[in-house]
Structure 1
Amino acid sequence: MPVDLLSRLVRHGREIPDREAVVFVRHGASGPLEEPLTYGELDRRARALACWLRERCAVGDRVMLLYGTGLDFVSVLAGCMYAGVVAIPAPQPSTQRGHSTRSDGIVRDAEVSLVLTDSENHDTALGLLAHAGLDDIPCVATDRLGLPDAPSDWQAEPPADERPVIVQYTSGSTSDPKGVLVTWGSLNHNLGLTSRAFGVDAGHRTLSWLPQHHDMGLMGMLLTPLCQGATAYLMSPMDFLRRPHVWLRLVGLKRINTIVAPNFAYDLCTRRVTDAQLTGLDFGSLVSAGNGAEPVSADTMRRFAERFAPAGFRLDHFSPCYGMAETTLIVSGTLPGEAPVLTSVDTDALAAKEFRPVAPGTAGTWLVSSGRVHDLELRIVDPDTLATRPDGRAGEIWVRGASVAAGYWRREEVTERIFRASTVEGERGFLRTGDIGVLHDGRLYVTGRLKDLLIVNGRNLHPHDIERELVSLHDGFRGLSGSACSVPAAGAGAPGSASEGEQIVVMQEIRRAPADPDELAALSARLRGDLSARVGVRIANLVLLRPGQVRKTTSGKVQRSLMRELFIDGGLEAVFEDLDTAAAGRYRSEATPV
């Protein structure tokens, strides 16, 4: 039956009031500490807050939510929906530079009428507003309100398909954020797709550590189970990063059916979970392990499945998927019970935008299918000619359908270009995703980002392929992050220079770097040579960084544009730099250890 989130939340509060809607799990010294919220309590709290909001806001006003992971956020978000105001989830207030810059940009752009937070974050939120010059905006700690219950005859604001319900700010930008206008129509449609993709129903239990302001954490792992009357278990991102085994242990302890995370999380677990911790794991209840939000690695999936096989995990538990905030969340997925499809393709052909599977035993590049597209239209389009490409040929992924959001808040020109694109054949109303992909046997393979594509010596190279190859070349890179980009080369067109006037820069975190500068220089020279041989083009520049220096979004995506800017502007604190002579003269005073 068609999904209507608001009506379902009201009905759940009436029909299954004692069922746990959300359980927040904190990691304590003696084990997990649970804080439950039932559907009856959620409905009661949402009604009380909605009554309070209606006295202060008009339908359609924007309200910013500044909370950490927890139950307060869940109740306040539902209250905004009941009141008919537009919720703007944002990162938890922080004094850290990257976080404050992002929140600053959101609060300036959103034109909010009210900021809601909790007492723990209230002072920091006030500081954020003052820094943005917006200290005239009311900022309220909702846990201090002590609201009375709503009158028994109180009714939630009826939703309209075209009315925005959430402004979802994209995670890749800091100073120039874009707010995606998620309408009731696009939200309800996508919750139906996500429920199907992960097999979520009323008896389901999901588990997530993803930030609640991020599209996968919000739409996929909070609103989807709430829509179905399931139970969502939540834990904080920091608890996961500090103790990844706790995430996996809760699967067995709470008989979890669905987990979803970016690829890096599965890689982290493979490396960090000890043999002793492995003995306490149990994946017997698991139905689906979603893998999305960044390029999905066949190697990561295989190693995770092998590592956790003794606990009952199988490769076919993985459900690779693809989506983005602009489509509310999911576009394609691998349904529960379907084995993920891994295909080895000809590397040179892929660089020429052709998907050509190779015979077993033949060297190639392994790609993971993000599954099939259901109830949405998808085209693969040449980004230059706007012509639709046939199956087996790579191009930009375009999407059309009811899950696509209404556009970007206050950005009509960008909305027109991105959300209302037309193919040269005359098909209109498509979203340009900016991602590169290919269709093969009815399945979607995502191969990279259009804006990240590197074109060197006539070859199309994806940064994550270069980054993946480098990590395999040295034990000190294992589990750490890298970022590849291209920069203008001095003397373009001169003998030995990269075509298109570009040369490659690879920035890589390293653990326990040699202290001797001569050893570092020799290591770097070897790595550049080996990497150049593997990817088939000259790697001109290598920058080694301390762990944690590669900038990422909240979902773990490498911010390659920002890393490129930092390299060009000299904003990186490098352990060692091995730069091409032209790059050293253009971007650095000298290529020496730092």
Structure 2
Amino acid sequence: MLTDHLAAWAATNADDAAVTYVDHSTSLDGLSVTATWGSLHRRVASTAAALRRVAGPGSRAVVLAPQGVDDVVALLAAFWAGVIAVPLDLGDLDDHPEHVSAVLNDCLATAVLTTSAAKPRVQAFFDAPVVLVDAMPDDELARYPATASDIAMLRYPVDPGTDPFGTALSHGDLAAAGSRAISAFRAVTGRSVTVNWLPLCYDLGFVLGVAAPLAGRLRAVLLEQSSVLEQPRRWLQALASGQDVITAAPDFALAYCASRTTEQDRSWLRLSQVSTMLDGGESINASTVRVAIDVFGQCGLPPQAFRTCYSAVGAVGPVTMTAPAAPPRRITVDREQLAAGKAVLRTDGRSSLLVSSGVPVDGLVLVVDPGASWPLPDGMVGEIWLSGGAVAVRQELVSLDGRDWLRTGDLGFLHEGELFVLGRQEDLLTVDGRRLDPHEVELVARAAHPAVRPDRVVALSFGEAVVVVAERSQHVPPDDLDLSAVVDAVRAAVARRFNVRVRDVVLVESGRMPAGWSGHPTRAAIRRRYLDGSL
């Protein structure tokens, strides 16, 4: 278990750096704060002692600490005390308070772990005993004898637009995810470094920031997400300062960071020591892969270091991943055939470019007809089912061919052993029985008129028609906006390209579109607001 690893590294490598947080809130260049394995162990054990005074084993404690060493201490202290951790993003107290309220009502937590600075904000929001992770008591708690099957954490969706449902993850799930990541990344014990700016409540963020470093005795470098989104070069600077560096970001965030990397950044940043830059956590866009390999390649990133993966609700860590020997595989398939549920290779103008999410890291991947529940051959689109070590132990499974499988709710297909993910079943556009990739529709819509903000477009389907919701570009002043021209241009472009009826085109003001932590629009919340007329 992860706490076993912490105790072992504290005993054998007490003075080695374990976690470094680069704080840009008080310094433009970033002020680094480092905890060694020994100091991390002492802080975890003492914080666990304070936690156990207000929460017993098996109870639940919310973690609302800022990204950094304190956040890691809070999570590990809960594991150490036998308390179930419920990690949330502290920034959501301001950005998405309704999401935090919904999670708090669902998880029934009896305590909260936070810092002295964040305590007033947390107490104003959550009436429960507070344990401060930056106020070390004198005593230390002996590690609770949790078993591998005991629940360690409840992971809630990071998308504020989704209904709160906590996925129960056991101590064994978390430890196995760390070990799988070490193997998949080909990390070297005591040498490799992970650089992570994703929240620790995010699956990839937890694996990179906590599970893999503990499993493999790697140094974890953490950055605050807001500081990276403000200046992506801060992430690149952290990558350039280590050796055998492993990092990851969702597809949307990678595209954003690549677009914000300047010519000056490319001239002096050196990323040749990055062994893995992982694109994962959502559907992979071919344009992101092309731009990221090009932009970061100009900074020295080896093409084979850019890899893609697939993660699923109900699983822990990457389920599939591309090999480190070459860039992710890209194929072009017939757009109309894909809409009908079959991937047929094609190279002319009526094709769609898709990117592989790799092969299984551990276990099996099956593509199944979601209605009839029978396996589909290569090239046929169906629901992705998973079996093996990546599936969390307390998930509801179905049986097929003598094995237990997790139904992911994601659609995709297999091609020559590699998985190509198309997206969530509920997100894909279904119009007159045809399946359309919402990302392709959104690409066409955002290119239809300069008044459409490129990174704030969402396509939805309603029966026989499509609805496009977009934000006004900040480069087009409201007084210069010809709304009817924008609506007509988007409607015509989408209808012509995909041969569908566009029921509505909604253009909202900047900042009005619901978005998640990365700034990516949240499809479920937008659908609800469109239906109730609150957009």
When normalised by structure 2's length, the TM-score is: 0.94
Aligned residue type for 2:289: M
Correspondence 1:140 to 2:127: no
Aligned residue type for 1:217: G
Q: Tell me if the contact between 1:421 and 1:430 (Cα under 8 Å) persists in the aligned partners.
A: yes
Q: 1:475 to 1:251 in 2, by over 3 A?
A: farther
Which of 418, 427, 446 is matched with 1:471 structurally? 446
CA RMSD between the two structures: 2.2
Which of 105, 110, 120 is matched with 1:108 structurally? 105
Which of 395, 398, 407 is matched with 1:421 structurally? 398
Secondary structure in structure 2 of the residue aligned to 1:63: strand
Q: Partners in 1 of 2:480 and 2:465 — Cα distance?
A: 25
Q: 1:375 to 1:81 in 2, by over 3 A?
A: same
Aligned residue type for 1:531: V
Shift of 1:349: 1.0
Q: Tell me if the contact between 2:50 and 2:131 (Cα under 8 Å) persists in the aligned partners.
A: no
Correspondence 1:442 to 2:417: yes
Correspondence 1:567 to 2:534: no
Shift of 1:278: 2.1
Secondary structure in structure 2 of the residue aligned to 1:143: coil
Which of 179, 192, 198 is matched with 1:192 structurally? 179
Shift of 1:443: 0.5
2:469 is aligned to 507
Q: Partners in 1 of 2:267 and 2:451 — Cα distance?
A: 27
Shift of 1:375: 2.2
1:82 is aligned to 80
Q: 1:191 to 1:556 in 2, by over 3 A?
A: farther
Shift of 1:475: 4.4
Aligned residue type for 2:353: W
Q: 1:93 to 1:365 in 2, by over 3 A?
A: closer
**Where do residues 117-128 of structure 1 align in structure 2 (5 Å cutoff)?**
117-128=114-125
When normalised by structure 1's length, the TM-score is: 0.85
Q: 1:248 to 1:547 in 2, by over 3 A?
A: farther
1:432 is aligned to 407
1:25 is aligned to 22
Correspondence 1:541 to 2:493: no
Q: Tell me if the contact between 2:447 and 2:454 (Cα under 8 Å) persists in the aligned partners.
A: no
Q: Tell me if the contact between 2:46 and 2:139 (Cα under 8 Å) persists in the aligned partners.
A: yes
Shift of 1:515: 4.3
Which of 478, 488, 495 is matched with 1:525 structurally? 488
Q: Partners in 1 of 2:111 and 2:2 — Cα distance?
A: 24
Q: 1:52 to 1:548 in 2, by over 3 A?
A: same
Shift of 1:318: 1.2
Aligned residue type for 1:420: L
Secondary structure in structure 2 of the residue aligned to 1:308: helix
Aligned residue type for 1:465: E
Shift of 1:403: 2.5
- 1:154-199 deviation digits (Å, cap 9, x = unpaired): 6422331211111111223557310110012222222222222222
Q: Percent of aligned positions with the same letter in both sequences?
A: 30
Shift of 1:6: 2.2
Secondary structure in structure 1 of the residue aligned to 2:455: coil
- 1:523-559 deviation digits (Å, cap 9, x = unpaired): 3212221222122212232112334433233355532
Q: 1:67 to 1:330 in 2, by over 3 A?
A: same
Secondary structure in structure 2 of the residue aligned to 1:430: strand
* Most deviating of 259-268 and 472-481: 472-481
Q: Tell me if the contact between 1:483 and 1:550 (Cα under 8 Å) persists in the aligned partners.
A: no
* Most deviating of 349-358 and 520-529: 520-529
Aligned residue type for 1:139: V
* Most deviating of 17-26 and 54-63: 54-63
Q: Tell me if the contact between 1:93 and 1:121 (Cα under 8 Å) persists in the aligned partners.
A: no
* Most deviating of 464-473 and 107-116: 464-473
Q: 1:517 to 1:476 in 2, by over 3 A?
A: closer
Aligned residue type for 1:147: P
1:10 is aligned to 7
1:592 is aligned to none
Q: Tell me if the contact between 1:61 and 1:112 (Cα under 8 Å) persists in the aligned partners.
A: yes
Secondary structure in structure 1 of the residue aligned to 2:274: coil
- 1:410-457 deviation digits (Å, cap 9, x = unpaired): xxxxx6xxx22244xx55532111110111111111012101222213
Aligned residue type for 2:524: S
**Where do residues 58-457 of structure 1 align in structure 2 (5 Å cutoff)?**
58-92=56-90, 95-96=93-94, 99-129=96-126, 135=127, 137-144=128-135, 146-150=136-140, 155-173=142-160, 176-202=163-189, 203-255=191-243, 257-359=245-347, 363-407=350-394, 419-423=396-400, 427=402, 429-457=404-432
Q: Partners in 2 of 1:286 and 1:295 — Cα distance?
A: 23
Shift of 1:57: 3.0
Gaps of 5+ in 2: none
Aligned residue type for 2:152: V
- 1:273-316 deviation digits (Å, cap 9, x = unpaired): 22122222111101111001121111121122222333212432
2:52 is aligned to 54
Secondary structure in structure 2 of the residue aligned to 1:290: strand
Aligned residue type for 2:472: I
Q: Partners in 2 of 1:543 and 1:214 — Cα distance?
A: 31
Q: Partners in 2 of 1:528 and 1:449 — Cα distance?
A: 24
Q: 1:93 to 1:283 in 2, by over 3 A?
A: closer
Q: Partners in 2 of 1:299 and 1:375 — Cα distance?
A: 28
Q: Partners in 1 of 2:158 and 2:253 — Cα distance?
A: 17
Q: Tell me if the contact between 1:101 and 1:175 (Cα under 8 Å) persists in the aligned partners.
A: no
- 1:1-54 deviation digits (Å, cap 9, x = unpaired): xxx422211111111111111100022545121011111111111122223333
Q: Partners in 2 of 1:262 and 1:548 — Cα distance?
A: 21
Shift of 1:351: 0.6
Secondary structure in structure 2 of the residue aligned to 1:465: helix
Q: Partners in 1 of 2:247 and 2:499 — Cα distance?
A: 38
Secondary structure in structure 1 of the residue aligned to 2:514: coil
Q: Partners in 1 of 2:466 and 2:305 — Cα distance?
A: 37
Q: Tell me if the contact between 1:294 and 1:557 (Cα under 8 Å) persists in the aligned partners.
A: no
Shift of 1:363: 4.5
Gaps of 5+ in 1: 130-134, 408-414, 488-500, 573-594
